[in-house]
Structure 1
Amino acid sequence: MLIAGLVLAGIAALIHVYIFYLEAFAWTDRKTLATFGMTAEQAEAMRPMALNQGFYNLFLAIVTAVGIVFTATGSTAVGAALVLAGTGSMAAAALVLVISDPTKRDAALKQGLLPLLAIIAVAIALLL
């Protein structure tokens, strides 16, 4: 079960790296505008916030990836703590998104479901 949790956490981290790319580098690209439902003018006005948010997503991915490495190399307590911190923050951010704007339910599911499943799998593995 621990391996399944780490795989789910790794995929969640990769998704957050992709979100980082969209928010930090591709924010005003036509495809990104369509993904986030914005005009070019709105994207320009939000660029500093998006850059900040992008790096937030990258840092969550890094914490999760470092936790996976620690766990895989035998430091299970430290690794699991980092994996749970990273994926817990991802899942909590998705919850905040859907609570603050229910029309963003699909986006919240895309960014929050895998981290939630990773949390469940890792927790079960640690309890067994």
Structure 2
Amino acid sequence: MNVIAQVFVVVAGLFHVAVFALESLLFRRPSTYRRFLIKDEAEAAAARPWAFNQGFYNLFLAVGALGGLIWGGDEGHAVALFSCGCMAGAGLVLLASDRRMLRAAAAQAVPPIIALVLAAVL
């Protein structure tokens, strides 16, 4: 995998680590749960279990992307690119489920899509 594609894999992985922190560690804060279009503490309490789980899902994707790069070789790069494919797909699903989440979906999907394209063409 070329270096430019690897940079976008890293960006995608770090983004997903940050989202893990928001969903699994910081979700109880009003400034955090409002980012997910949750209005109040009652809604946040109901959403907390899925947010916690979803945060770890994002962490595992990040570990796949970043760990694949660290592992290196064709096998490691395949794992990194598979993780990027999952990230991109999840971003597209987020956009399809709620158009108000365009910014979040783009932040989630664009870096891994760029990584996949660059890995394929360069």
The TM-score with structure 1 as length reference comes to 0.89
CA drift of 1:70 comes to: 2.3
- 2:6 corresponds to which letter in structure 1? L
Give the TM-score, by structure 2 length. Answer: 0.93
1:42 lines up with 2:37 in the alignment? no
The answer to whether the 8 Å contact 1:80/1:122 transfers is no
Q: Secondary structure at the match of 1:35?
A: helix
Following the alignment from structure 1 to structure 2, what is the Cα–Cα distance between the partners of residues 23 and 17?
A: 10
2:72 matched to 1:65?
A: no
Q: How does 1:1-128 map to 2 (within 5 A)?
A: 2-38=2-38, 39-71=40-72, 75=73, 77-125=74-122
Q: Quote how far apart the aligned CAs of 1:33 are.
A: 2.3
Report the residue type matching 1:18 in the other structure: A
Provide the secondary structure at the position in 2 that maps to 1:23.
Answer: helix
* Cα displacement (A) at 1:28: 1.4
Aligned-pair CA distance for 1:30: 2.2
Q: Secondary structure at the match of 2:26?
A: coil
Kindly provide the CA deviation profile for residues 27-80 of structure 1, in whole angstroms up to 9, marking residues without a partner as x: 011220232221221111011100110000000000001111122xxx1x1122
Native 8 Å contact 1:13 1:61 kept in 2: yes
Gaps spanning 5+ residues in structure 2: where?
none
* Alpha-carbon shift at residue 106 of structure 1 (Å): 1.3
The CA RMSD over aligned residues, in Å, is 1.2
Q: In structure 2, what is the Cα distance between the partners aligned to 1:84 and 1:69?
A: 13
Name the count of aligned residue pairs.
121
